[in-house]
Structure 1
Amino acid sequence: MAAELVLERPVVEYLITDYGERLNEALASNQVSIWELDTTLPFGLIVTEGNGMASASSSTTTG
């Protein structure tokens, strides 16, 4: 499975700080790419995994 992630700068900084080694492994696999933005995205997505099941939730911001 491959993934392209579009993330805000604070999220990328969090991933580097808290998951740096795993993040580097994922990037080195050439199956994950990250695009970092300086602006706030008008939407969000949360994906979690637990007890062998994955779930997702999304939201949009209207102005």
Structure 2
Amino acid sequence: MKAGASKGNAVRQLSQLLRIEQEEVMCIGDKGNDLTMIEWAGCGVAMANAIPEVREIANFET
């Protein structure tokens, strides 16, 4: 995988291309590879079965 590649960077780049503000982005995840994405999003959501690290940084849990 390319250095610096992450779901967070991917969502950031996509939102820039689509001209969507960070505050308008919601990301949902449950595993460690979702941490950067949930942390970057304006609204981060952890699944109920998420690892503790994801649940800690999420704004909401579902």
Q: Give the structure-2-normalised TM-score.
A: 0.24
Normalized per residue, the structure richer in strand is 1
Q: Which has the larger radius of gyration?
A: 1
Q: Give the structure-1-normalised TM-score.
A: 0.24
